[in-house]
């Protein structure tokens, strides 16, 4: 018996990284998975984005874990594509119980030097894209009449200021109040809403030259080893970065009955970085 037997989860940003990890973990616990990611471009992003092959690999991994999955290419900036993906999943599984609004980007830039397009793209994906994802999916959870759970991926950057992340931090902080308002609105339906706030996680969004320079501005061409030295100094526990599985553990708790009375909270997984 899994903790999520018979339930269905919609996950954005599922082609790799945390989203893929969440999809596989929830599938192992018995959940059907509706997964989206996109091959659409984001001009401000300084690292390779997900590919169609990445999403195909998520499908393979979920099925290898014994799960069922409906996967679609859907950009979180595109409400119509998101809605079509959710509807395809509900048609396949007959219900929706869990929503993980996980998709996001990173594009470090000095606050007064970044372009308007860079600012807007960040807000469109990391904040407005979350709202669009919830707007097309959560009504299916409400209409099921069985309650449910929503987890929004925020960041320790919502609470802890770092240079060159004003647009990212503003979006991630905005998700906190979006979560709290929705937690109040959805409580009468038995639907719980929470955010997770990881410190640095070892995914493609972090393991790239732009992030290395963010952590080591003192070096012209910092390496991963240079980044890891700085990251260890940020976290109080002796760890460079979390693994995606570490975040999936928290997500599983929040969407399972183990957290049946947990709503409106900010679940911080920061290895002591905020101390």
Q: Which residues belong to the active site?
A: 168
Q: What is the C-alpha to C-alpha distance for residues 64 and 248, in angstroms, rounded to an integer?
A: 18
Structure tokens at 177: 């109040």
Angle, helices 166-186/116-123, rounded to nearest 10 degrees: 30
Burial class (CB in 10 A: 0-12, 13-18, 19+), 91: exposed
Q: How far is CA 166 from the centre of its chain?
A: 19
Q: How far apart, in whole angstroms, are the C-alpha atoms of residue 22 and residue 155?
A: 16
What is the widest separation between alpha-carbon atoms in the chain? Answer: 56
Task: Please count the other Cβ atoms lying within 10 Å of the Cβ belonging to residue 248.
Answer: 22
Q: Cβ distance 168 to 156 under 8 Å?
A: no
User: Based on the number of CB atoms within 10 Å of its own CB, is 163 exposed (0-12), middle (13-18) or buried (19 or more)?
Assistant: exposed
Residues linked to residue 101 through DSSP beta bridges, in sequence order: 152
The C-alpha torsion from 50 through 52 and 53 to 56, rounded to 10°, is 110
């Amino acid at each position: 018996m899994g903790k999520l037997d018979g339930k269905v989860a919609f996950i954005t940003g599922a082609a790799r990284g945390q989203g893929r990890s969440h999809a596989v973990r929830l599938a192992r616990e018995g959940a059907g998975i509706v997964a989206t990611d996109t091959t659409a471009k984001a001009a401000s992003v300084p690292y390779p984005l997900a590919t169609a092959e990445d999403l195909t690999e998520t499908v393979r991994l979920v099925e290898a874990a014994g799960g069922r999955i409906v996967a679609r290419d859907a950009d979180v900036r595109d409400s119509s594509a998101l809605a079509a993906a959710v509807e395809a999943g509900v048609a396949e599984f007959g219900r929706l119980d869990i929503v993980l609004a996980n998709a996001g980007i990173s594009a470090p830039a000095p606050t007064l030097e970044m372009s308007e397009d860079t600012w807007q793209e960040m807000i469109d994906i990391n904040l407005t894209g979350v709202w669009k994802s919830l707007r097309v999916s959560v009504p299916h959870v409400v209409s099921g009449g069985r309650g449910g759970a929503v987890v929004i991926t925020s960041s320790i950057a919502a609470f802890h200021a770092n240079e060159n992340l004003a647009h990212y931090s503003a979006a991630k902080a905005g998700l906190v109040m979006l979560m709290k308002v929705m937690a109040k609105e959805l409580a009468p339906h038995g639907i719980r809403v929470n955010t997770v706030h990881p410190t640095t996680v070892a995914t493609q969004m972090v393991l790239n030259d732009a992030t290395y320079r963010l952590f080591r501005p003192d070096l012209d061409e910092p390496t991963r080893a240079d980044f890891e030295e700085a990251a260890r100094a940020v976290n109080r526990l002796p760890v460079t970065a979390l693994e995606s599985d570490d975040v999936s553990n928290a997500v599983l708790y929040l969407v399972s009955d183990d957290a049946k009375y947990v709503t409106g909270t900010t679940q911080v997984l920061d290895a002591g970085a905020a101390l």
